[in-house]
Structure 1
Amino acid sequence: MSQSAAATLRQRLADPSKIVVGAGVFDGLTARIALTEGFDCLYMTGAGTTISRLGLPDLGVATLNDMRDNAAMIAGLDPSVPLIADADTGFGGSLMVKRTVTEYIRAGVAALHLEDQPTTKRCGHLRNKQIVPEEEYLGRIRAAVNARAAVEGDIVLIARTDALQSLGYEAAVSRLKNAIALGADVAFLEGVSSAEEARSVCESLSPTPVLFNAVPGGLSPAWSVAEAQELGFRIVIFPGLALGAVYEGVRRACKRLKETGTQDGSVNPHDLFNVVGLKEAVAFDMAAGGGLYDKGV
């Protein structure tokens, strides 16, 4: 039996000399491209999921079903590659957190993160975020840990706090320490603002791995993978990687079509379909005795 994605991620996190890099994707095409380019960990962005599936901003409007279905599809493309997925606030009280963790495990997700904003949350790199009382937040973490223990399977639990901007560094790190004491595997201090803060949180929470959220133009410096590792982070995610590229590329293509009546023909259908498994699909059909593709495609 092959090793689970969660076990693979845990194995990588056990090596303090390595850093896990999560390429930010939000749908099947962007995930396939990242896999083709050789990334060995993917990150499903909640903002990207909300934008791509609903056409709405990341303001707490995506439901568990929206997020789980997208995560299940991405995780299933290559189950050997760990997927870290946003789980927002857990989508409700303790019973909803239990359902969220259970559904993510069944979907094959390797890790999820839970935050301490209210259910009507917003993207972590927007301003004026609200924060729930610490006991409510820790109740979510406790429910997640208990849910994981109750279901067959495993998932890496990442405790995220957005309290840095409103409550300050000490209060935010205290929340993470308490979440770790309850059984969280990784800490995520959203909106780290300086190298000094970064080094401090990584040292304070050691040996627990700490995650860095790389969002250019957001609340944190735009550190590279090497810089994040030097500061002590063990995971770095790039949630806007595909989202920003798609926004720029599609906007440019639409502008060209609108202004010139032509489109860029640099990508042909075969190239696109091969990225998402055309050759493998044809080979599978032929091995099963099918004749649909005997003359090629």
Structure 2
Amino acid sequence: MSHQQEQGSSPGGRLRELLANGKTLICPGVYDGFSARMALAAGFKCLYMTGAGVSMSRIGMADLGLTTQTEMVETAGMIANIDPKTPLIADADTGYGTAINVARTVERYITVGVAGFHLEDQVVTKKCGHLKGKECVNLGEYLSRIKAAVEVRKRRNSDIVIIARTDSLATQGFDEALHRLKAAVKAGADVAFLEAIKTEEQLETYCAAFRGTGVPTLFNMVQGSTVGLKITPKQAEEYGLGIVIYPGLCLVPAYLGITSALKSLKDGTLEESCEKVPPQEIFQVCGMNEIQELDREVNEWVQEFEKDNE
């Protein structure tokens, strides 16, 4: 990877350690505290904050570039600090404006403890990468975003991982998309991210372009997409991918499960599966035992202090 710092002592350092071991890093898409807690309880080593998920869960809107920098930073900071030992890769969309807006976005992500983020070349009024009708900025503007991120990282003495994403495959073709990613890496990006890959041939060529360069490649595995290629974790290893993100992994089951439960209630019944999970089990996933243990330790200390100072 292009940016070298002492690893392991920061969120970015921990992410770099995971990427350096040569195995594909599997990252479930989370979007709020509850989904993050469940992913952590499942034992994942790295989480991915999906912008689509934040848009739908936080503001109730489709992924059409409507979430603000503030909303994304606040959500990322909350998720990143549930378990600071587990790195979080966050969606940074377009950086929310010009190069100076990108700089502020990166600075705020560093401050709240994000380990890495991806920055794309769509226009500011962007949309989900697996929808039709996307538009991309020119190469110069894209590189200004990447360079702004790199400069802020340098000035903050940070090792946050910069992931260069391009959506230009859909608008300008494969060769231009690959050219953009290589240019972004030259500008200082650490990881390449080609969005909405359609064929195995494209995937292989993409991976081969960075194989042996020390630049990991990222694949976006969107379940249910009618645009993108589908691969398994085993196939990801075979291609040599550095990261695979699953933005819909928590969203889709939540949609299906909640919709089904609501329909049952509307029809005058309750789903039996809901009766199988007591509230205590959910609370435990969300840190109840740790919170109660802290409360117990504090109360015991206060009692002991008062006893010794009567």
Offset at residue 205 of structure 1 (A): 2.0
After TM superposition, the score normalised by the length of structure 2 is 0.91
* Secondary structure of residue in 2 paired with 1:288: helix
What's 2:100 paired with?
Answer: 95
The 2-side partners of 1:242 and 1:270 are apart by 21
Matching residue's letter, 1:271: E
The 2-side partners of 1:3 and 1:257 are apart by 49
Q: Does structure 1 conserve the Cα–Cα contact (< 8 Å) formed by 2:37 and 2:286?
A: yes
Offset at residue 217 of structure 1 (A): 2.3
Unaligned runs of 5+ in 1: 292-297
The 2-side partners of 1:280 and 1:61 are apart by 36
What's 1:294 paired with?
Answer: none
- Show the 5 A alignment for 1:208-219: 208-218=215-225, 219=227
Offset at residue 128 of structure 1 (A): 1.4
Offset at residue 290 of structure 1 (A): 6.2
Is the aligned partner of 1:281 residue 2:287? no
Give the alignment partner of residue 224 of structure 1, picking from 232, 241, 245.
232
What's 1:78 paired with?
Answer: 83
CA 166–4 in structure 1, closer or farther in 2 if over 3 Å, else same:
same
Q: Does structure 2 conserve the Cα–Cα contact (< 8 Å) formed by 1:199 and 1:232?
A: no
What's 1:295 paired with?
Answer: none
Offset at residue 199 of structure 1 (A): 1.0
Offset at residue 269 of structure 1 (A): 1.1
Matching residue's letter, 2:230: A
The 2-side partners of 1:252 and 1:290 are apart by 46
Identity %: 46
Offset at residue 2 of structure 1 (A): 6.8
Unaligned runs of 5+ in 2: 1-6, 302-310
Specify the structure having the higher radius of gyration (Cα): 2
What's 2:56 paired with?
Answer: 51
Matching residue's letter, 1:184: A
CA 133–250 in structure 1, closer or farther in 2 if over 3 Å, else same:
same
Q: Which runs of 4+ in 1 moved over 6 A?
A: none
* Secondary structure of residue in 1 paired with 2:128: coil
Q: Does structure 1 conserve the Cα–Cα contact (< 8 Å) formed by 2:24 and 2:240?
A: no
Alignment RMSD (CA, Å): 1.4
After TM superposition, the score normalised by the length of structure 1 is 0.95
Give the alignment partner of residue 67 of structure 1, picking from 55, 68, 72.
72
Q: Does structure 1 conserve the Cα–Cα contact (< 8 Å) formed by 2:26 and 2:243?
A: yes
- Counting matched residue pairs gives 290
- Show the 5 A alignment for 1:133-144: 133-144=138-149
Is the aligned partner of 1:250 residue 2:250? no
Offset at residue 123 of structure 1 (A): 0.3
What's 1:265 paired with?
Answer: 275
